[in-house]
């Protein structure tokens, strides 16, 4: 017994020295690691900002990188002071899997949000049609997309729905084509009708004349000859021009004596 005590006393300085060095190394790893993690995450975010990546994504990626590096640093520190880390890693992995399964829908929205922000099929300020809703995109967060319809209703869509739907973005292109379908009577003079409609379009200063104007017979319908009328405008002028042309063409055709037929049924009674 005395020999064992003497051995412990003899080895005590070495044990203290070894433990002390391990603690010092652990503290150094912790301090230097946290400093490096902060610098690296900031560098990643700055690099993404210089590439004009969305600020939300840049900040998020920087935070994720910092969190992952801190996790590795903590594991390294625990290993340095003699704590078994294999079981800790296994527990963390199992916990991550359980959380992932529990938050499957949320993670799907999150992943979709990241893709929407990176590839930007729509962005804040765009007028778009998404999942059957048309309106201005107000905000795209990591989990949902917020839109405001023309009658000022707020529509909030989960990002997984947005990413899996057909997206029609009306704001990407600076010009839009105005398509009208005008029906005239079979008795009408088509050349006069076409000249009248063309005159309405050419007189509108909002029409982009250099992109061309089309006024042509599209179909011979049951009760009318249908003319397709196409012209190009700035995207912001689409609806004002659309409404104006519909009314002005009606007025000018009436003035030119061109009838616009409407569905009617003739009933003949035999005595």
Q: Is the dihedral angle over the CA atoms 53, 58, 64, 66 positive or is it negative?
A: positive
Are the C-beta atoms of 109 and 158 separated by less than 8 Å? yes
C-alpha 222: how far from chain center: 44
What is the pLDDT at residue 12? 46
pLDDT computed for residue 268 by the predictor: 64
Sequential pLDDT tens for the chain (271 residues): 545 455 545 544 554 455 556 677 777 888 888 888 888 888 887 887 777 666 666 776 777 788 888 888 887 777 776 666 666 666 666 666 555 555 455 677 777 887 887 788 888 889 999 988 999 999 887 788 999 998 999 999 988 899 888 999 998 899 999 999 999 999 999 999 999 999 999 999 999 999 999 999 999 988 899 999 999 999 989 999 999 999 999 999 999 999 888 776 666 666 6
> What was the pLDDT predicted at 84?
66
Output the pLDDT for position 8.
45
Residues linked to residue 129 through DSSP beta bridges, in sequence order: 134, 168
Closest CA to 43 of 28, 61, 20, 26: 61
pLDDT at residue 222, as a whole number: 85
- How far apart CA 258 and CA 169 sit, in angstroms, is 37
Bridge partners (DSSP) of residue 9 are none
Name the packing angle between helices 190-203 and 238-255 (round to 10°). Answer: 140
CA 224-218-169 angle, 5° bins: 120
Note the pLDDT tens digit of each residue in 31-57: 888 888 888 888 887 887 777 666 666
DSSP E strand stretches across 68-184: 127-130, 133-140, 144-149, 154-158, 167-169, 175-184
Phi and psi torsions of 171, nearest 5°: -105, -10
Rounded CA separation 169/130 (Å): 9
Q: Which pLDDT value is given to residue 67?
A: 81
pLDDT at 237: 94
Res 103: pLDDT = 46
Is 0.75 topped by the overall pTM?
no
């Amino acid at each position: 017994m005395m020999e064992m005590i003497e051995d412990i006393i003899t080895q005590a300085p070495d044990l203290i020295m070894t433990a002390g060095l391990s603690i010092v190394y652990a503290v150094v790893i912790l301090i230097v690691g946290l400093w490096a993690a902060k610098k690296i995450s900031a560098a990643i975010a700055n690099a993404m900002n210089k590439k004009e990546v969305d600020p939300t994504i840049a900040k998020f990626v920087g935070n994720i990188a910092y969190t992952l590096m801190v996790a590795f640093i903590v594991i390294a520190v625990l290993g340095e002071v003699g704590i078994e880390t294999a079981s800790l890693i296994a527990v963390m992995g199992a916990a991550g899997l359980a959380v992932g399964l529990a938050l499957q829908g949320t993670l799907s929205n999150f992943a979709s949000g990241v893709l929407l922000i990176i590839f930007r099929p729509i962005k804040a300020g765009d007028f778009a049609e998404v999942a059957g809703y048309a309106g201005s995109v107000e905000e795209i967060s990591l989990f949902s997309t917020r839109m405001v319809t023309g009658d000022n209703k707020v529509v909030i869509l989960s990002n997984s729905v947005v990413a899996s739907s057909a997206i029609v973005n009306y704001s990407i292109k600076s010009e839009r084509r105005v398509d009208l379908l005008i029906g005239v009577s079979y008795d009408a003079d088509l050349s006069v009708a076409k000249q009248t409609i063309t005159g309405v379009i050419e007189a509108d200063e909002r029409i982009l004349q250099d992109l061309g104007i089309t006024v042509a017979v599209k179909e011979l319908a049951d009760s009318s000859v249908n003319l397709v009328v196409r012209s190009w405008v700035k995207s912001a002028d689409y609806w004002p021009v659309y409404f104006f042309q519909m009314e002005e063409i009606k007025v000018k055709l009436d003035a030119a004596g061109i009838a616009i037929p409407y569905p009617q049924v003739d009933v003949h009674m035999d005595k």
